Amino acid sequence: MDVPRLSDLLDLAEPSPNRFLGRTQPVPRHRLFGGLLLAQSIAAAGRTVPADRPVHSMHALFVRAADPAEAVEYTVDRIRDGGATSARRVIASQGGVEVFTALLSFQRTRDGLRHQAEFPPATAPEDLRPLHERFADSDVPIPDWWRKPRAIELRHVDDPPYPPPVQRRDASRHLVWMRAPEKLPDDPLLHACALAYASDMTLLEPVFLLHGVDRHAKGVQLASLDHAMWFHSDLRADEWLLYDQDCPAAAGGRVLGRGSVFDRSGRQVATVTQEALLRLER
């Protein structure tokens, strides 16, 4: 399997105004990766906004599972263009059926108050092995695509919640370094898209570690329900970013993931939340 290039995945066709087509990727095979929908929705909306207005928030809803073998069409509704802020609604569909929707806001950067979460201590990414290298030559029972290089390189500070047996932890905090291994163009929109893609890869791992659950075990049902992001500062997704994640709540067959993203200097560049369906068949 060839490594998917983010720059290719985010290069949307525009067959008509406010309508875009995005290519898909082959894994995972059972449903389209949600991070790709997040990233391509930002790319589509951003193409309709002046370049001096970076994206600062996104609120998305996964309506139904998308087919990874079928292209995705994105329709952008230009809700409002104010003096400094632009609002967009994006609907993603396949075969005329809506699979995903998002509200996005773009705003010119302004001076103001600033504070942030504390940058957590973590082993440097250079001292950690890429996730795919951990399992490349092993026969542990995990999906084969975890053994392949991917569009985002992951380096876990602590052990990931696979392979089994998963050791239960008292704390749900989970640190992962991530970056796009390819050099990306100097386009802030593209780097925001890349971070959105990456933000959906490990955000729910803390709940599996907290409860000692193998995410790939038979009977585990996992599906993203919604996803929200706030972009606080400019960033480069092709340089190392530290994803500080936890799971503050789980109830009613749902779990809530929460994450703060920092660059190497310790600056918080984004905040992420996601709720997902999680059911364990006994």
Tokens 């893609």 identify what position?
Answer: 197
Alpha-carbon distance 241 to 157, whole Å? 12
Between the two ends of the chain, the Cα-to-Cα distance in Å is: 35
Among 172, 224, 260, 268, which one carries the catalytic annotation? 224
Helices (H) and strands (E) in the chain, counts: 5, 12
Token pair listed for 214:
């193998």
Instruction: Confirm whether 116 is a catalytic residue.
Output: no
Active-site hit among 41, 105, 260, 274: 274
Known active-site residue 274: yes
Closest CA relative to residue 42, chosen from 109, 88, 95: 88
Q: Give the number of other CB atoms < 10 A from CB of residue 219.
A: 8
Rounded Cα gap, residues 65 and 38, in angstroms: 14
Among candidate residues 86, 200, 246, 268, the one labeled active-site is: 200
Per the annotation, the verdict on 260 as an active-site residue is no
Give 119's DSSP letter: P
* Amino acid found at 198: A
Which positions are catalytic?
200, 224, 274
